[in-house]
Chain A
């Protein structure tokens, strides 16, 4: 079946540090890939997505590139801010039979300290 594996947290960084959160997936064919962010006490918000190999998703300074050869979709940001403190989820959708179900990784908690 489909699965997503992301690096375990928590991750603690100083403000303006470089961020990488690793994500790899297992799925047949060509899934769509997503990063969601969850701020404390809230639901999930879509951060970025990519729907085919070599696509780069980007938003709010975050980027991730769909790498088919390594089945990866690592999240990066060049300079994190305290406001980026949240839990980040990597996810995929493998469409089939009219269904678009999300499969999530376990989440990585990021804390950014001033």
Chain B
């Protein structure tokens, strides 16, 4: 079955470390997105990519980086510059207005 796989489901990071969250899709969707979810804040867009080798900043890109070397993959790196990284991170892909979401990665800074 087609879908989006995010890994790991839970991730712990020490302060000052970079960490990379994986997102893979087999839906053949061109567009992919990363969202951050905090309680009471809804979903905020971090980065998005509409085609391979191209991506744009969303509303809260500071402290994050992405790459899109393959259509299927859109990894997100949370850098040490992100001051408050503890959150639930959701990846999505879309074709026109049809979105599919992954099951998320919960990142905790310890």
Check A43 against B104 for contact (C-beta < 8 Å). Answer: yes
Residue of B nearest to A103 (CB): B45
Is A66 at the interface (CB under 8 A from chain B)?
no
In this complex, how many residues of chain B approach chain A with their Cβ under 8 Å: the count is: 22
With A42-B104, A46-B99, A100-B97 as contacts: A105 and B90 at CB distance below 8 Å: no
Check B50 against A43 for contact (C-beta < 8 Å). Answer: no
Q: What chain A residues lie within 8 Å of B94 (beta carbons)?
A: 100
Convert A82-114 into 0s and 1s, putting 1 for each residue whose CB lies closer than 8 angstroms to a CB of B.
000000010001010011111011110000000
Check B101 against A43 for contact (C-beta < 8 Å). Answer: yes
Interface of B is mostly: strand
Check B42 against A107 for contact (C-beta < 8 Å). Answer: yes
CA distance A95 to B92 in the complex (A): 17
Convert B1-28 into 0s and 1s, putting 1 for each residue whose CB lies closer than 8 angstroms to a CB of A.
0001010000000000000000000000
Check B31 against A105 for contact (C-beta < 8 Å). Answer: no
Check B48 against A101 for contact (C-beta < 8 Å). Answer: yes
**Distance between A12 CB and nearest chain B CB, rounded to angstroms:** 17
Residue of A nearest to B88 (CB): A41
Is B109 at the interface (CB under 8 A from chain A)?
no
3 closest Cβ contacts across the A-B interface?
A43-B101, A106-B42, A44-B101
Q: What are 30 A-B contacts with C-beta separation under 8 Å?
A: A32-B97, A34-B97, A42-B103, A43-B4, A43-B6, A43-B90, A43-B92, A43-B101, A43-B103, A44-B43, A44-B92, A44-B99, A44-B101, A46-B99, A49-B97, A89-B42, A93-B97, A98-B50, A99-B50, A100-B94, A100-B96, A102-B43, A102-B99, A104-B42, A104-B43, A105-B42, A106-B40, A106-B41, A106-B42, A107-B42
